[in-house]
């Protein structure tokens, strides 16, 4: 009797559903909000630096000044009044600071109890200017300030509230980046592929490809992995993987593998290339420029690293894929993949490998579209707005061809309806992108001049590394960059925040700045393949219909594999004096 009860209990446990991605993010937001009550806010001053890009052109970037870190303190207005009176008699200093002497004199006649930072800003006395001029002498340093959001509120009503993180996250940024830009890209690309999928051209093309591959099917996995890794290494491929995954997932499943394998040979491969790149202009090139070392230096070491890491990672995926092909039921996404299998079976009339003229024209349109996108990204620095437009054109042309040739009995109205359905399919993912951005907002954002918990953590880590052996420091730099990537997934953004601290820290602890850059690229690259705050990962998972937690449970072992390889290359670089 007891035995039966135990079995029944075990069966019940297996039916427990994993939390939805929305629930996971909400929990993360709540925990980080709690952290803002116990970790004081800190900030930095910033300055513009010039650095040479890979093409030899000079560019500027705003970076923090590590020596200017301070905790956020309230101003002591009485002390400030005394110091401002002294400043008002120094005309040369006021001219240097760009302060109007008459306005300052009038301001000093008012009651200091009525002063606030907004009124000081109107005089040109920003917090940064005040700190540079008077240091901490005008602050009440008896207690640190804790910056945390209210439970509820908006920018117009009491300030940002944590329960508004979804909306605030969705409207953050602009058309060039998260979250607004990524959300718009997802909806447009989803709509375009909704039209393309309606034509049946992709399913027909997959059947034709599988029918003619013969014994070369197994080689498709490592070949695809190297191609996408090369994309990550050369131009930082990331968001581009979302639409490409729409093609590759059904193709890889048709070969007898699963959607896990498809994500690995597309998005994961691109991040492997990102992590081991010798020339990514949006990652390692910016980090080296900020660190003050020649851009794209150390390319030989990194090229070897790329070959080794990509080869090892491709082998990892190859053996996994081979196991799944032998026993598909072992795949953790076996149920999710049935959607793609049923879709292809619905078009089994194309299984013979024969393509109609309409199908061929659409497949050629897609091929030319992909070439156009790659050319635009590499040669013209096209980004989110251009890529979205390019995919819209691709979808529109495909829809017109489908309607003309009556593919799947397609009508002109079907073009509009399938576009709307395709966009709707990715709407839940767009919400996740906004939620993920909300995590950063709860911490106060990533602006180094704004008092945030993130700035305090960044400073604390830099201080903790001082005095450690050089090899240990290099490894811990890599681990820190990996953790930091959960909060700032932008490669260039992470470089701007961390490299001004890590580069001089490397000098102090006795490792080269080249190793600091290596730690940055390995950390910021690998973790994007599992981070729930990565808009690109969430987009690819949505295309594959995989919940993030299910992906994380599977991928965590691969992340361990990445961690071992990353640590090994940091140690090797330290031992050979990589500089």
User: What pLDDT shows up at residue 347?
Assistant: 58
Comparing CA positions, the residue from 168, 538, 187 lying closest to residue 384 is 187
Least confident of 151-155, 464-468, 499-503, 528-532: 464-468
Rounded distance, CA 147 to CA 443, Å?
9
- Asked whether residue 533 carries a pLDDT value surpassing 80, the answer given is yes
Mean pLDDT value across residues 125-140: 90
pLDDT score at 1: 42
Q: Which residues contact 338 (CB under 8 A, 6 or more apart)?
A: none
Give rounded-to-5 percent helix, strand, coil for the chain.
70, 5, 25
Quick one: pLDDT at residue 346? 65
**Which pLDDT score, from 0 to 100, does residue 421 have?**
93
**In this predicted model, what pLDDT tens digit does every residue of 492-527 receive, in sequence order?**
888 888 888 888 888 878 889 999 999 999 999 999
pLDDT at residue number 108: 92
Assess whether pLDDT exceeds 80 at residue 360. Answer: yes
pLDDT band (50, 70, 90) for residue 10 = very low
What Rg value do the Cα atoms of the chain yield, rounded?
27
What are 384-420's pLDDT values in tens digits? Answer: 889 889 989 999 999 999 999 999 899 999 999 999 9
Percent of the chain with pLDDT over 90: 47
Contact 223, 311 (CB under 8 A): no
- Tell me how far CA of residue 305 lies from CA of 235, 275, 431, 473, in angstroms: 17, 10, 37, 20
Tokens 């730099």 label which residue? Answer: 477
Interval 461-469 mean pLDDT? 84
- Residue 328: pLDDT band with limits 50, 70, 90: very high
Q: Which residues contact 409 (CB under 8 A, 6 or more apart)?
A: none
pLDDT at 18: 60
Mean residue pLDDT of the chain comes to: 87
CA distance 562 to 313: 8
How far, in Å, CA of 298 to CA of 139, rounded?
A: 45
Judged against a pLDDT cut of 90, whether residue 306 lies above it is answered with yes
CA–CA dist 505, 528 (Å, integer): 25
Long-range contacts, 355-361 (Cβ 8 Å, 24+): 355/204, 355/205, 355/208, 356/204, 356/405, 356/407, 357/405, 358/199, 358/201, 358/401, 358/402, 358/404, 358/405, 358/406, 358/407, 359/199, 359/200, 359/201, 359/204, 359/205, 359/407, 361/401, 361/405
Residue 3 predicted with pLDDT over 70: no
Q: What angle do CA 283, 304, 563 make, to 5 degrees?
A: 65
pLDDT confidence tier of residue 7, bands split at 50, 70 and 90? very low
Q: Which of 313, 373, 285, 334 is nearest to 550 (CA)?
A: 334
For 305, other C-beta atoms within 10 Å of its C-beta total: 24
Residue 281: pLDDT band with limits 50, 70, 90: confident
Taking the whole predicted model, whether its pTM rises above 0.85 is answered as no
Residue 53 pLDDT: 65
Which two three-digit tokens encode residue 428?
A: 């839940």
Residue pair 517/292 in contact by the 8 Å Cβ criterion: no
User: Is the pLDDT at 12 greater than 50, yes or no?
Assistant: no
If one compares 156 and 2, the residue with the highest pLDDT of the two is 156
Q: How confident is the model at residue 339 (pLDDT cuts 50, 70, 90)?
A: confident
Q: How confident is the model at residue 240 (pLDDT cuts 50, 70, 90)?
A: confident
Residue 135 neighbours by CB distance under 10 Å = 10
Residue 90 has pLDDT above 50, yes or no: yes
Q: Is the predicted pLDDT of residue 351 greater than 50, yes or no?
A: no
The answer, yes or no, to whether residue 377 has pLDDT greater than 80, is no
Token pair for 404: 């003309």
CA separation for the pair 335, 383 (Å, rounded): 35
């Amino acid at each position: 009797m007891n035995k039966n009860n135990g079995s029944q209990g075990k069966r019940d446990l297996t039916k427990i559903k994993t939390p939805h991605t929305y629930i996971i993010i909400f929990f993360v937001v709540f925990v980080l909000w709690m952290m803002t009550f116990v970790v004081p806010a800190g900030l930095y001053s910033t300055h513009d630096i010039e650095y040479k890009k890979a093409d030899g052109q000079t560019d500027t970037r705003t970076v923090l000044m590590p020596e200017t870190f301070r905790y956020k303190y309230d101003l002591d207005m009485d002390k400030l009044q005394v110091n401002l009176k002294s400043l008002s008699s120094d005309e040369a200093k006021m001219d240097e600071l760009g302060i109007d002497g008459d306005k300052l004199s009038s301001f000093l006649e008012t009651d200091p109890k009525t002063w606030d930072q907004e009124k000081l800003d109107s005089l040109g006395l920003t917090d940064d200017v005040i700190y540079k001029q008077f240091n901490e002498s005008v602050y009440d340093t008896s207690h640190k300030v804790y910056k945390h959001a209210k439970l509820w509120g908006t920018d117009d009503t009491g300030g940002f509230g944590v329960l508004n993180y979804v909306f605030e996250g969705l409207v953050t940024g602009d058309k060039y980046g998260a979250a607004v830009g990524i959300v718009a890209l997802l909806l447009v690309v989803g709509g375009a592929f909704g039209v393309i999928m309606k034509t049946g051209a992709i399913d027909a093309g997959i059947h034709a490809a599988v029918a003619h591959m013969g014994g070369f099917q197994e080689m498709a996995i490592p070949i695809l992995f190297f191609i996408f890794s090369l994309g990550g290494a050369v131009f930082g491929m990331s968001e581009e993987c979302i639409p490409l995954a729409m093609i590759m997932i059904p193709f890889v499943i048709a070969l007898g593998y699963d959607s896990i394998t498809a994500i690995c040979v597309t998005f994961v491969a691109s991040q492997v290339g990102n992590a081991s790149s010798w020339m990514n202009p949006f990652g390692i090139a910016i980090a080296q420029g900020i660190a003050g070392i020649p851009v794209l230096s150390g390319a030989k070491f990194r090229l070897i690293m790329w070959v080794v890491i990509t080869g090892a990672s491709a082998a990892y995926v190859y053996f996994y894929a081979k196991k799944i092909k032998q026993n598909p039921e072992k795949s953790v996404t076996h149920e999710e993949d049935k959607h793609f299998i049923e879709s292809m079976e619905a078009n089994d009339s194309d299984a013979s490998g024969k393509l109609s003229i309409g199908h061929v024209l659409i497949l050629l349109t897609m091929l030319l579209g992909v070439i156009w996108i790659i050319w635009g990204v590499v040669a013209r620095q096209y980004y989110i707005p251009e890529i979205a437009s390019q995919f819209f054109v691709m979808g529109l042309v495909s829809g017109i061809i489908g309607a003309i040739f009556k593919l799947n009995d397609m009508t002109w109205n079907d073009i509009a309806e399938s576009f709307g359905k395709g966009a709707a399919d990715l709407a839940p993912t767009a919400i996740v992108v906004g939620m993920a951005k909300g995590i950063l907002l709860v911490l106060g954002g990533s602006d180094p001049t704004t008092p945030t918990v993130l700035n305090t953590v960044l400073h604390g880590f830099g201080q903790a590394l001082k005095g450690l052996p050089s090899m240990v420091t290099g490894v811990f730099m890599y681990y820190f960059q990996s953790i930091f990537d959960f909060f700032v997934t932008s490669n260039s953004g992470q470089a701007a925040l961390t490299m001004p601290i890590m580069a001089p820290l490397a000098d102090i602890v006795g490792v080269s700045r080249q190793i600091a850059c290596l730690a940055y690229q390995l950390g910021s690259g690998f973790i994007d393949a599992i981070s729930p705050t990565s808009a690109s990962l969430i987009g690819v998972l949505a295309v594959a219909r995989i919940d993030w937690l299910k992906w994380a449970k599977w991928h965590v072992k691969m992340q361990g594999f990445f961690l071992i390889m990353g640590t090994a290359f940091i140690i090797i670089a330290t031992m050979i004096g990589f500089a």
